[in-house]
Structure 1
Amino acid sequence: MVGGLLKEGMNEKDWRNIAESEIWQLPQNEEGVLPVLQLSYQCLPPHLKRCFVFCSLFPKDHRFYEDDLVWLWMAEGYVDQANNMEMEDTGSRYFLDLVNRSFFQEAHWESTYVMHDLIHDLAQFISEGEFCRIDDDESKEIPNTTRHLSATLTDGTKLMELSCYDKLRTLEINSKSFWFDFRVKSPLFIQFEKLKNIRVLILQNYGLRELPEKIGGLIHLRYLDISYNNYIRRLPESLCGLYNLRVLDLLFCELQSLPHGMSKLINLMHLIVEDKIISEINDVGKLTSLQKLCSFKVLKDQGHEVAQLGSLKQLHGQLRITNLENVESKQEASKANLNNKQYLEKLVLEWTSDDGNELIMSKEVLEGLQPHQALKRLTIRGYTGVRSPSWLQAQLLANLITLGLKNCKAWEDISCIGQLPNLKKLSVKGMPAVKQISHGLSTESKFLPNLEELVLENMVALEELPSLGQLPCLKVLRIDQMSTMTKVGHGFFGYRDQGKCFPCLEELRFNGMPKWEEWSWADGRELFPCLRKLQIAKCPRLKRMPPLPPSLKSLSLCQVGLTEVPRLWEEIDGSSSSMIVSELKIYSLEEIKLVDIPECEELPYLGQLPSLKVLRIEGMPQ
């Protein structure tokens, strides 16, 4: 910890003062706190001291999530408002400073952190008098000076006593175990009218049936967590009067609906609840501080128009907009102001109806839903237009790394996707009007130079696969449910006469292609040099395929029409085992599955595959 302290911008004088400090001569105190740890705390700036001491409320070995802890610090007023910086970003900087000074350690479990036992002892030692933790089986007295209390209690009488501490700013009530015995439905024995100064209230996993109406009197409350209370079905309307509330955690509460006045919570930043519940909030646009809105259902009813999204400029993470058939014009769609939502990373635009009356208008609506150029992931589902929106291009979506086009039945031309320079994952499913995408997936290096994963599925009008063999970064290719495709030609590998085809491809799958008969390739070219997994299924007319690459680890052939499986192994099935080992060196194959290949009459010799672990052969009557 001293190393972490000394690297924090200290000068020579600071180093000398630490080296000559009398604290090195002090013995370990009665609480077991080492003097050097006290020195590390004393050298913290005031804002970090407050944040560190607050952690004494939690038990030893507690797993800290950065976001949760920052929200709590903000609720307590520990995070200063910095110029040109969001308060949460400032809080995250505080947390990182404490990590760098070794007050927290990574737990290597879902991005959590822990505090060493000795550091926790230090926090409890410093916080004594203002912070307190008690348990049912302890006779510990709560000092009158306590402002922050964490209690593990199930006795209603003791809960009543907590109401006497009217200067509390934090109250956390825990159950004995993570999963409370839900056969015991606990009434809440707390006189809220006496807790006027509460800012943080945590009643997680306490078996609550309801919150009392008097909770609306906690006018300073900024953080309310009642998650994991499975018996709660409704919340009191008085909750909507908590105008200072910033965080409301309702995770795993079996709520049937939210109070009608939720839009009054104008300072609410984080509402943690199921998507289907949050999408029902009327006038959600009034929650201008809201940072997370996973789902928004567009209705024609007042208070649920797409324009409600216009004022939500702080949205982070993911936003899914459904029922876009209820938007009637480009002008109406543009009121969502998606191009101003710079913090959104993922956007899903979804039509749930393909009524012919909306075919013309949906193109205009999609034009009005242009996202911010910082967007990283985009999915368009159920779009009923024929053409691509003008904003689906490199200049406007240069940061896009994932694109999904799904069930857009009339969309014909998707060539624009080939211009997206940083795209890594592309999924095109259920696009029956697309006849070719070769213009969008050119062999030229400027087209999709960073694409790593490609899925093409259920595209009945697509007669031939595009030229994919020269995509330099492609690692995963899945071709599914191409019911009309009859051949995979030379163009699939690329039109160059020499060089490697699919130089980085590791996984290749063909599935559900009942009319596929012909697979052509050019001899003399190196095919799939890095391929590790090959799967071909439900292709009953396929008679032949290219030779296997030495890199292959897994081969699965199911319901195919191959008659000459030995030809796959023609180059390795020589007259002597030395040819197998020395020339082709297929040491890597670990799994072979040959299932339902009724026309196959002979298998190759498999005895010289030293890495083989799984061999499955069935449904081969010949």
Structure 2
Amino acid sequence: MESRASKLKYLRVLSFRKLDVLPDSIGKLIHLRYLNLSWTKVKKLPESLCNLYNLQTLILYRCYGLTMLPNDMRKLVNLWHFDLRGTSLKEMPRGISKLKMPILDYFVVGKHKENGIQELGGLSNLGGSFKIKKLENVADVRQARSARMLEKNRIDALSLEWSSGNKMVSNMETLRDILDNLQPHNGLKELRIQGYKGERFPDWVGHCSYDNMTSVTLASCKNCCMLPSLGQLPSLKSLCIKGFLQLKRIGDEFYNNDSDHHSSPIAPFPSLEELVFDNMPCWEKWHVPHPEAFPRLRTLEIEDCGMLTGDMLNDILWRRDSCLREDDEGRSDGMVGGGDALSINRGSQSFNASTVNHLCCLQELLISGCPSIVSFPGNCLPKSLQN
């Protein structure tokens, strides 16, 4: 490419299909506006890339081997589209807030002021789906507040991630306060929290003011002994809770937010259609206090929750208008054909068969790995059952 660089110095658009190393001579293409390295095997980018001050779009999609970016990325003052999806960056380059970018897919929190979470405070145009990784590098509440997440009202889907590992947690309250100060704007539609090591969630997680929220995933929060109050989210359709290794009981706190004294509580989970529990080895009891909870639930999956007894499911299974599905194999679609179905696999130790009597939508029933079931009492199965 060295010999060609002078001939191509007025090039505006450049894409590679196969590339192992991006040469230093790329820095001579100073008129370049668009550079696409998607799916290439590059592991690092040369510092000369930062000479491309006219560059507007840099696509690094699925560059799986890329772990570092050049130190002087802040010189790319005209860069507005920066696609990092599928890369493996260990940290962000310093001073990235100097860029104009309205499009950035994720941010890796570094340990230094120049690439710490404070840099997010200067990125006011973030939008769409956005992920913040390595939140364990946020040292205190002041740093978390400096990210100014409440002001970023163009973000539709937000993922907050702490890295996995056995790092000791010194102060649970500090962790909770850090998450509290990462509160997003009320128009958020999707929320994912992964690897949070606190024992409790702040009140904003599940607050009824998030009336556009349709999807919530809480994963690998292994120290949490209590779920947040999610039942008053009016538009929530999909809820996935997995990897809560300390949680033993789900009770009233899951359905109503006691800290919100100004709202009139509605029937819990009024719009929820899909509910997934996975890898909760200590979970024993599930209390459903409201007779009209889960009025639209169609899919229920319970996997690797071996301490949960079948009798604990009775409160949820009797609901007349629900068409539920519980699947220990993680098969939420297509496992049984035609209509709505309830599948019960190794997730529970016993099952009271008479509780399916009121599932008048039920067409197919599969029970496996439940040795305590020895018979079905007369008239316990719904008339709608076909298979």
What is the TM-score with the length of structure 1 in the denominator? 0.52
How many Å apart are 1:400 and its aligned residue? 1.5
1:482-511 CA-partner distances (Å, limit 9, x unpaired): 3333322653357xxxxxx15142423368
Cα 1:195/1:368, change in 2 over 3 Å:
same
How far 1:329 moved relative to its partner? 1.7
Match of 1:474 in 2: 297
Task: State the AA in 1 paired with 2:304.
Answer: Q
Larger Rg: 1
Could you say which residue in structure 1 is the equivalent of 2:179? 366
Q: Does 1:453 align with 2:274?
A: yes
| Compared CA separation, residues 348 and 228, structure 1 to 2 (3 A) | closer
The partner residue of 2:343 within 529, 535, 553 is 535
1:184-238 superposed Cα distances (whole Å, 9 cap, x missing partner):
xxxx486333445432x23332x445444343233332111233444x4443322
Q: Distance in 1 between matches of 2:106 and 2:281?
A: 28
Matched with 1:424 is: 237
Check if 1:308 corresponds to 2:119: yes
1:240, distance to aligned residue in structure 2 (A)? 0.7
- Structure-2 residue corresponding to 1:407: 220
Distance between the aligned counterparts of 2:187 and 2:3, measured in 1? 47
Q: Is the 8 A contact 2:218 2:241 kept in 1?
A: yes
Q: Which residue of 2 aligns with 1:435?
A: 249
Aligned residue in 1 for 2:35: 224
- Structure 1 SS opposite 2:217: strand
CA distance 1:504–1:189, shift in 2 (3 Å): farther
1:242 aligns with 2:52: yes
Q: Distance in 2 between matches of 1:460 and 1:383?
A: 18
Does the residue aligned with 1:418 lie in a helix, a strand or coil? coil
Inter-CA distance 479–441: structure 2 relative to 1 (3 Å threshold): farther
Structure 1, residues 390-421: CA drift from partner, whole Å, max 9, x if none? 32354542222111222324434435212222
CA contact (8 A) 1:266 1:286 kept: no
Residues 258-290 of structure 1 show CA distances to partners (whole Å, capped at 9, x for unaligned) of 333223212222223454444533215335322
* Residue from 114, 127, 130 that aligns with 1:319: 130
For 1:306 and 1:291, locate their aligned partners in 2 and report how far apart those are by CA, in whole Å: 17
Q: What amino acid is the match of 1:202? A: L
Q: Secondary structure at the match of 2:48?
A: helix
Q: Which has the higher contact order (CA 8 A, sep 6+)?
A: 2
Unmatched tracts of structure 1, length 5 or more: 1-187, 495-500, 513-529, 574-582, 590-622
Say whether 1:559 aligns with 2:335. no
Deviation at 1:307, TM superposition (A): 0.7
Structure 1 pair 235–557 and aligned structure 2 pair: CA distance change class (3 A):
same
| 1:203 has 2:26 as partner | no
Partners of 1:388 and 1:226 in 2: CA distance: 40
| 1:319 aligned counterpart, secondary structure | strand
Q: Distance in 1 between matches of 2:16 and 2:284?
A: 53
C-alpha separation between the residues in 1 aligned to 2:201 and 2:308?
24
CA contact (8 A) 1:377 1:400 kept: yes
Q: Percent identity?
A: 29
Aligned length, in residue pairs:
363
Q: Does 1:286 align with 2:97?
A: yes
- Find the residue that maps to 2:353 and give its secondary structure: coil
**What is the alpha-carbon distance in structure 2 between the residues aligned to residue 390 and residue 196 of structure 1?**
56
Q: Are the structure 2 counterparts of residues 278 and 313 from structure 1 closer, same or farther at C-alpha, using a change threshold of 3 Å?
A: farther
Residue pair 1:454, 1:476 contacting (<8 A) in 2 also: yes
Pair 449,274 (structure 1): closer, same or farther in 2 beyond 3 Å: closer
Aligned residue number for residue 333 of structure 2: none
Q: What secondary structure sits across from 1:417 in the alignment? A: coil
Change (3 A) 1:275 1:294: farther
Query: Which deviations, in whole Å up to 9, do the C-alpha atoms of 1:146-165 show, x marking residues without a partner?
Result: xxxxxxxxxxxxxxxxxxxx
Letter paired with 1:437: G
For 1:488, the equivalent position in structure 2 comes to 312
Residue 249 of structure 2 aligns to which amino acid in structure 1?
A: K
* Compared CA separation, residues 537 and 585, structure 1 to 2 (3 A): closer
Q: What residue number does 2:326 align with? A: 508
- Write the distance in 1 (CA, Å) between the matches of 2:210 and 2:3: 53
Alignment of 1:383-402 (within 5 A): 383-394=196-207, 396-402=209-215
The runs of 5 or more residues in structure 2 that have no matched partner are: 257-264, 331-337
Equivalent runs, 1:576-595 vs 2, <5 Å:
584=383, 586=385, 588-589=386-387
Distance 2:347 2:221 in 1: 26
Which protein is richer in helix relative to its size?
1
